[in-house]
Chain A
Amino acid sequence: MTEAPSLRGPLAVLGGVVAVLAGLLGFVQLDAGRHSDRAAAEGTRLAVAIFRDTTATGGELDMKSMLLRRQVELMTNASGMHLLTAEGSATGLAALAVADEHAARRLGRLWQAMTGTPSGLRGAQALRVQQAAFRARTNAMVARQNALMGEAARYGRKAQTASRGLLLAATAGAVFTLAGATRERRPAKAVLGAGVLLVIAAALAGVIATVVY
């Protein structure tokens, strides 16, 4: 005597539950996968931006310090020469020194207008401040980049767990089909029990993917 029809109702409902579970797990996997992909892409973009910012700021600081050095050099030479030739010189160096001092002051103002950095010691101090701000900015960008990469890895694990849950749900579906095909009641119930366990495991994977990671 076959008693399989008595399992028809539970099997049908469990099949529906497996379908919904698979749908939910598929959604969790899709959502986690897109977050992972986006975070990884954004993190890579940020790494490129860090390189770009470092190169640009390095070039800017080099340029400013070059102008600063050049202005200070001209001013120092001119002032030194002016002091040495204060009593006048046979070669005309005294007049050149005075003119060079004027030129150095004028260049200091010009380059300050061009770069925003004042001349002399104040300029060196401004460059130090700019360098410190650049370091702080780079550190913040690196921290953000690390966070994005961590997020990509976390969502990757989430997607992987959901994918395992999907595999379990698919196996549960196959096991329910087997239970339906089994004509003897006891073995059919045993197979059904195994299927239910698989469904529970799949649901657990979904919960882990959603809540734990």
Chain B
Amino acid sequence: MSPEAARSRSRKQRWAARRRRLTGMSFEVRVAALLAAAAIATGVIGARRDDFAGGASGQWSRAVRVEIKRSLAETSADQLVYGTTVPNVAQLQQATVQAKAYLAELGSTPELTAAEREALGVRARIEYTRSIALARTIAADAGYFGADHYSRFALGRALLDTRRDSVRGLEDPHAVQGDGDRLSTFSIADGLAEILVAVVVLLASISVARSAGRSAVLRAGIAVLVLAGAVLVAVELAR
């Protein structure tokens, strides 16, 4: 026999001896080993479950804080547009439209008296001067006016832009809450794995109480423990 074949045979013999020792392990020792494994699994799964549950709760609380921040920012944006921008825009539009109306009246009605022409001219000048001064105060919003010189104002666009600017850099509370929901689902999966581990303990206890078929019950316990481990691994991979 070659030295290589002898080494291989020796390895096989050692493996067979180990297997015999294992199968010859007393029933109580196997139950104890299974319970010890179940205890370790409970510790690991319980810790992960609590991590996920705590993380989910934390994310939901954070979603509330983010919502408050966003609401404050959006409310101040709305107040700026409705309370400051629009009144200024309305004044500017009124001054511009009135000035145009006076000039139009002046140009389109030849039978006006001198006093009427004088009054229209003066008022047109006053309103134009006012509109120029007002236009300076809302120079930042000039982009929202139409081409027809400070008449049409895109309020919806101004509101959207101001709101968008005000919440820039802030998270979306729905997304934060979604993260919490995801973590919560993981914690539930780990909770189910923990129930499986408890079933392992029950099967181990039944195997201790029974005399017939106890090895089969113990094997079922091992299978359930493997299933619980698989759930734990699946949850960790899904993260």
Residues of A within 8 A of B209 (CB): 8-10, 12-13
CB contact between B101 and one of A12, A31, A91, A106 (< 8 Å): that residue: A106
Report how many A-B pairs have Cβ atoms within 8 Å. Answer: 189
A16 to B202 CA separation, bound complex (whole angstroms): 4
Interface check A38, CB cutoff 8 A: yes
Given A41-B63, A99-B98, A110-B152, the answer on whether A60 and B93 have CB atoms closer than 8 Å is no
Interface check B138, CB cutoff 8 A: no
Given A8-B208, A42-B177, the answer on whether A96 and B120 have CB atoms closer than 8 Å is yes
Which chain A residues (1-43) contact chain B, with CB distance < 8 Å? 8-10, 12-17, 19-20, 22-24, 26-27, 30-31, 33-34, 37-38, 41-42
Given A13-B206, A20-B195, A107-B94, the answer on whether A38 and B116 have CB atoms closer than 8 Å is no
Stretch binding the partner chain, chosen from B2-10, B15-23, B79-87: B79-87
In angstroms, how far is the closest chain B Cβ from the Cβ of A93? 7
Would you call A38 and B180 a contact (CB within 8 A)? yes
Residues of B within 8 A of A62 (CB): 82-83
A90 to B60 CA separation, bound complex (whole angstroms): 73
Most buried by A among B75, B100, B181: B75
Residues of B within 8 A of A113 (CB): 152
B101-135 vs A, Cβ < 8 Å mask (1 yes, 0 no): 11011100100110111111001000000000000
Extra pairs beyond A27-B194, A96-B120 (20, CB < 8 Å): A13-B202, A13-B205, A13-B206, A14-B205, A23-B198, A26-B191, A48-B68, A52-B71, A60-B78, A63-B87, A66-B90, A74-B94, A88-B113, A91-B115, A92-B115, A92-B116, A93-B119, A111-B90, A114-B89, A114-B155
